[in-house]
Structure 1
Amino acid sequence: MANPLLAGPPRYTAHSAWPPLVALVAAVVAQAGLQLLGGVLGAYVGGGDAQLMSGVPAAKQLLLAVLIFLALSQVGVVAFAWWGAGLFGGERRAVLQLQRGAPSVRDVVAALVGLALVLGTYNALVYLIRPDLFMSDVAPFRPMLEAPLWPVTMLAVGIGAPLSEEFLFRGFLLSALARWRGGFWPAALLANAVWTSFHFGYSVAGVLEVFVGGLYLSWLLWRTGNLWMPIIAHAATNIFFLAVLALYPLP
């Protein structure tokens, strides 16, 4: 059987019945609003529950609260995307591009090889040309990988972020935008730009990496019509990054 990444027509078909502009506003409000709500809840749970924080050094309690809010907001984002996909008569699995089921191991390996080439080359160039930018982007993650925070970090950054962001932006939002006159790629560029805007805490090089990586994830979705492909690729990227940073701390 031919690899859908390279052979045959693209398999993506937009199924959302949402008005594109309404979906765009809803996605932005959901992401920003749930992050804010999760922040309030996380600060309350992490900072106000002495039993939960017992054994956690005082210097790490705020960071733990941040990670808790991140995980809480991610659950909310996934729930919103799933709920929203069913509005206006939409069939949730079709809208979110989940109707094809799990991809084959061969397709996943091919997707990860391509992703490694794209982001590996980009990061190597950034590290060689502007190591200061590279280091400034990885520095905030170092304390997150110290005990007792690293399991929460792996859960939130390695699994929660890929699931929530792909469900919302390349699942819910892109399916609505792609019904616009321009079709898939103008919609993918817009959805990718909105997604990238939530990463503006990074350096210029870091923001560009997010945008480039998002384009590759969009291409995977376009070729396969299966949201699990960008979810898996996104998760593999985050987990690999955290593992390398934990095992081989950079200077």
Structure 2
Amino acid sequence: MNWIGVDIQAGLTRALYRPFNPSGLWPAVGIFIGLFILNQIILVPAFGVGIVMLTSGMIADESGWLRALLLAILPASLVTAWIGLILARQRGADARDVLALRLPDFGVVGWILVVGGFFFVINMVFLLIAMVFGLDLQSSGMVEQGTMQFGHDPLFFLIAGGLVIGAPLAEEIIFRGQIFGALAQTPLGLSGAALVTSALWAGIHWPTQPLYVVGLLFLMGLVLCWLLVRFGSLWVTIACHAAWNSLAVLALYSAAPQ
């Protein structure tokens, strides 16, 4: 068994990411906007309505609608990711090249080091910033409150699946997939692409999160972009994003009211 793969050392010595987007900047921007609208404005509400119709048949209150939207994250995200893969094949391109979906050779220990290192660094940075500026990291946004509220719901596993699998997969394809590669091929370069995509990714959390949390997510986005550039694979950012969400879901589940 290969415990530590060659891409671990290679990624620490040089950037393995090679931006590739034959469709060009503006088509990539159009795809990015289209995927975002499809996911957030069309699919999540549509699946939410469908879930309401299949369960209670009506929206009894705000809590019932929030539950439906949380349950809708998984199917909406999977459909978005699937369409993102299709749209990445413009001009006969291989979606794996456009979206950097090459599976890196990390080995078992390598994956543990990368994902564990990401989690450790982000936690330390967040805690340091919270101490310096007196921020309350225990306060949570609407999604976190809903996850905790429905912690003992019979369909909680679908809510957890949406946050742990669906959201990381769709968000990484949308924000650090095709549009990142397209921006990196402009004068913005890799650094500019990281700043723009991280700001956009953090910004979508603004309606449901305190402003300072959006700022912290911007920093997390920069770290995810760094991992993408160093190791040349979107699977790395998907795995780190999923691991972060997994631990958050576990914490919220443990705090769910009995």
Counting aligned pairs with the same residue, the percent is: 24
Tell me the alpha carbon deviations over residues 173-192 of structure 1, each in whole angstroms, 9 at most, x when there is no partner. Answer: 11211111232121121122
Quick check: 1:81 aligned with 2:88? no
**Residue among 139, 143, 146 paired with 1:135:** 139
* From 2, 12, 24, the counterpart of 1:7: 12
Match of 1:108 among 98, 111, 125: 111
TM-score, scaled to structure 2: 0.84
**119-128 or 38-47, which moves further after superposition?**
119-128
Superposed displacement of residue 150, structure 1: 1.9
Cα offsets for 1:33-64 (capped at 9, x unmatched) = 33222234223312222xx449xx98853233
Q: Which residue is 2:185 aligned to? A: 179
Letter in 2 for 1:157: L
Which blocks of at least 5 consecutive residues in structure 1 are unaligned?
A: none
Instruction: Mark the CA change 1:4 to 1:191 in structure 2 (over 3 Å): closer, same or farther.
Output: farther
1:22 counterpart = 2:27: yes
Secondary structure of 2:96 counterpart: helix
The answer to whether the Cα contact below 8 Å between 1:119 and 1:209 also exists between their aligned partners in 2 is no
Name the CA shift for 1:71/1:114 in 2 (closer, same or farther; >3 Å).
same
Unaligned runs of 5+ in 2: 1-5
Contact in 2 for aligned 1:134/1:205 (Cα 8 Å): no
Corresponding residue for residue 212 of structure 1: 219
For the Cα contact (< 8 Å) 1:64–1:149, is it kept in 2? no
Count residues in correspondence: 245
Counterpart CA distance in 1 for 2:147 and 2:126 is 16
1:16-55 aligned within 5 A: 16-49=21-54, 52-53=55-56
Give structure 1 regions of 4+ aligned residues with deviation exceeding 4 angstroms: 57-60, 125-128
Does 2:161 match 1:155? yes
Aligned to 2:234: 227
Counterpart residue identity of residue 90, structure 1: A
Q: Alignment RMSD, CA only?
A: 2.6
Aligned to 1:118: 121
Name the aligned partner's letter for residue 236 of structure 2: M
Q: CA deviation at 1:234?
A: 0.4
Q: Output one character per residue of 1:156-204: Cα deviation in whole Å (capped at 9) or x when no partner.
A: 0011011111122112211211111232121121122222221112112
